[in-house]
Structure 1
Amino acid sequence: MQAYDACTYTRTTDIYGKEVINLLCAKSRVAPLKVVSLPRLELLAALLAACFMSKYAPKLQLPINEYFYWTDSTLVLNWLLSPSSRWKTFMGNKVSEIQELTSVSQWKHVASSDNPADIVSRGCFPSQMKSLDLWWNGPSWLKGEHTQWPSNFQELNSKTEYLSEEKVITNLFLTTENNSFNQIFKLFSSLSKLLRVVAYCLRVKSNLLSSDTNIYGPVKATEIENSLKRLVKVAQQEEFFTELCDLKNSKLVSSKSKLFRLKPFLDNDGIIRVGGRLKHAVSLSFFQKHQIVQSIGNALFNYEELYTILVRIEAILNSRPSTPLSTDPNDLSVLTPGHFLIGDSLSAFPERDVTNIMENRLTRWRRVVQITQKYRLDGRTSISISDKSEKNGHNQMVLI
């Protein structure tokens, strides 16, 4: 049967200046039924000593100048020198309790031959206890000055038993598709609002990184411009990732790329722009010569084409009927958002239907028209007169 124990001694100085060492109390416990290694039993003994001292020392009601704790296990001392989080659950909990009750600087190393606690753990007959000076008065060197006490403890770095209790930390690296910033496009239906929000976010980031150049007040035009550039880069990173990598590495895109014929290049901001013969035009600015590449689905558009599509779609949305303008069944006029914008409904000349024509048969302008016509068909709102409805009366306007 295994056991572990701890014993407590008092070191006092009498009126003649003589140091007196006496056994105060001792306590032993039987080892757990589950097989426990010897180093763990030694740690349990250290915890028993710490709990023992914190519980009974105050009962003496005597002024105690210093506390010292001794163990003959170098493993225990090394465990106590490290944070409890470094060790496995069992060891970490015990080390944490000891560190809460005591200070690491109070722990010393004692040789097994001078450790009175070993008498209990190894066993001893009662008849032998009477004459064991080590048990009753502790090791002889305790009566000397602190400088004469043994100090042969060495910190361990690679001992197998010491490291066997170290917690195994597994570093797991996961790569995920980072679309978190792309989701910002779905949060706003207004580009101007999106630009302002991103501009404020970039301002906060800049202010946190540099306290010398903090920016306050309304958003400036330069901030809106930087916000637009950032959003364009995010969109291009999503749509033209391979082309971006090719342009950064070799400055040429693959011949299989859908951007190949546009002769793209990266500007100073890392944005893909269109090349081509316009670069020789003297009267055009850099931004007019080299427009930003953007896309809708699988279609590629320059800035002006995309702007045209967005304006036409806006006109479609502002032409949708909200309510009839009169109760006359022969009056098909309806109230639309356009009435609030220009005072009348928006109108445009009808165009030839190109929704069913293959994309490669269309000119670039007809491609713009096709996109807007498909949008109108996907979300159209039509008006019809119904006189056969069972639920509605005759000559009523019905919005479908």
Structure 2
Amino acid sequence: MHHFSDASTCGYGQCSYLRMINENDEIHCTFLIGKARVSPSKIITIPRLELTAAVVSVRMSNMLREELNLTNVDEFFWTDSKVVLGYINNDARRFHTFVANRVQKIRQSTEPEQWLYVPTDENPADIASRGRTINELLSSNWFSGPSFLWEREITTSDVVLDLPVGDPEVKKIQTLQTKTTESKDLVDHLSKFSSWSKATKAIARLLRWIKRDKASSPASVSEQEDARCWHAPKRNFQIGDIVMDIDETLPRSEWRLGRITETVLSSDGLVRKAKIALGDKRLNKKGERVHKTSIVERPAQKLVLLLEAE
């Protein structure tokens, strides 16, 4: 079966033909059905009307196969709209709702390879879309079908099926690229030190750099004294504060730094205890800490505030 569809501003329609070859290789074509409809009063673009006519062809195909009980018959669908062929053969782009729904209906019942291009002057469905008088209809190819269906070999036209640039039915895809940068404050840098001694030496070197002193020697005792800015807290500890854990069983140079993760308030509103995250000061051969961060609970009097949380 061969189905032809066409559309114009006046109307749209389709016509179907059955092409048979007998045992003597004689070809015969017969008219099966034709359907014509008036275009909607609402203004619709020609490509949309052409696509709607193609959907009508698919519906007629389904109806004919069911009514004629045809199970093993080759079917071909012809249109003179290259845009419609581009829509049907498209696998990469997304369309707006009107076109997307109709292309889906077409591809549910047919394959893109079944859709072929026919020049307008050979398309009998052009009669359904524009209308003819009785005499014009009798002298046309409406009942007999186009002449190439009567030939032994049907030749098809090679057309480019790429969608035109700027087609309004194609959804525009907007791609956004986001780039995030992680900013670290002094609190984040100090939390990497596992002992007060190492933190003081680092601050001493930093103060030396601020003074534009390019000396590469280790921090002196006086520079380390200047860098020691720790003091007793003048306010309650808060989550995020960087503190030093006073461990009287260890030398002061081995006291560890930590970040407060939770505070415990007493009835008078003062922080009496706090949970802090401590990092292991021991490193393996790769320079990584031996154990992950541990959470310990310490009394407030055993903590010294170094940096307040922002």
Q: Give the stretch that moved more between structures: 117-126 or 52-61.
A: 52-61
Partner of 2:37, secondary structure, is: strand
What is the correspondence of 1:209-224 to structure 2 with a 5 Å cutoff? none
1:84·1:96 contact (CA, 8 Å) conserved in 2? no
Per the alignment, residue 155 of structure 1 pairs with 161
Unaligned runs of at least 5 residues, structure 1? 179-236, 245-257, 265-274, 279-294, 319-347, 349-354, 356-365, 373-400
For the residues of structure 2 that align with 1:259 and 1:3, how far apart are their CA atoms? 87
For the residues of structure 2 that align with 1:299 and 1:242, how far apart are their CA atoms? 9
Per the alignment, residue 137 of structure 1 pairs with 144
For the residues of structure 2 that align with 1:298 and 1:307, how far apart are their CA atoms? 8
Distance 1:298 1:23, change over 3 A: same
2:15·2:33 contact (CA, 8 Å) conserved in 1? yes
Distance 1:169 1:242, change over 3 A: farther
Q: CA deviation at 1:32?
A: 1.8
For the residues of structure 2 that align with 1:99 and 1:111, how far apart are their CA atoms? 23
Per the alignment, residue 195 of structure 2 pairs with none
Q: CA deviation at 1:298?
A: 5.3
Q: CA deviation at 1:51?
A: 1.4
Q: CA deviation at 1:130?
A: 2.0
Whichever residue aligns with residue 65 of structure 1, its letter is V
TM-score scaled by length of structure 2: 0.59
Alignment of 1:164 with 2:164, yes or no, is: no
Unaligned runs of at least 5 residues, structure 2? 1-8, 191-199, 207-216, 221-237, 246-253, 265-271, 275-298
Q: CA deviation at 1:68?
A: 0.3
For the residues of structure 2 that align with 1:103 and 1:259, how far apart are their CA atoms? 75
Partner of 1:128, secondary structure, is: helix
Structure with the bigger percentage of strand: 2
TM-score scaled by length of structure 1: 0.47
Distance 1:149 1:298, change over 3 A: same
Per the alignment, residue 43 of structure 1 pairs with 51
Partner of 1:166, secondary structure, is: coil
What is the correspondence of 1:172-211 to structure 2 with a 5 Å cutoff? 172-173=176-177
Give the alignment partner of residue 261 of structure 1, picking from 203, 224, 247: 203
Distance 1:100 1:300, change over 3 A: same
Distance 1:84 1:156, change over 3 A: closer
Alignment of 1:305 with 2:309, yes or no, is: no
For the residues of structure 2 that align with 1:42 and 1:149, how far apart are their CA atoms? 23
What is the correspondence of 1:278-297 to structure 2 with a 5 Å cutoff? 297=240
Distance 1:104 1:259, change over 3 A: farther
Partner of 1:137, secondary structure, is: coil
Structure with the bigger percentage of helix: 1
Per the alignment, residue 27 of structure 1 pairs with 35
1:47·1:94 contact (CA, 8 Å) conserved in 2? yes
What's the RMSD between the two structures over aligned residues?
4.1
For the residues of structure 2 that align with 1:62 and 1:176, how far apart are their CA atoms? 62
Q: Give the stretch that moved more between structures: 164-173 or 48-57.
A: 164-173
Give the alignment partner of residue 17 of structure 1, picking from 17, 20, 25: 25
2:85·2:115 contact (CA, 8 Å) conserved in 1? yes
Per the alignment, residue 8 of structure 1 pairs with 16
Q: CA deviation at 1:172?
A: 3.9
Q: CA deviation at 1:370?
A: 4.6
**Runs of at least 4 residues off by over 3 Å:** 157-160, 172-178, 237-244, 275-278, 295-303, 307-310, 368-372
Paired residues, what number? 223
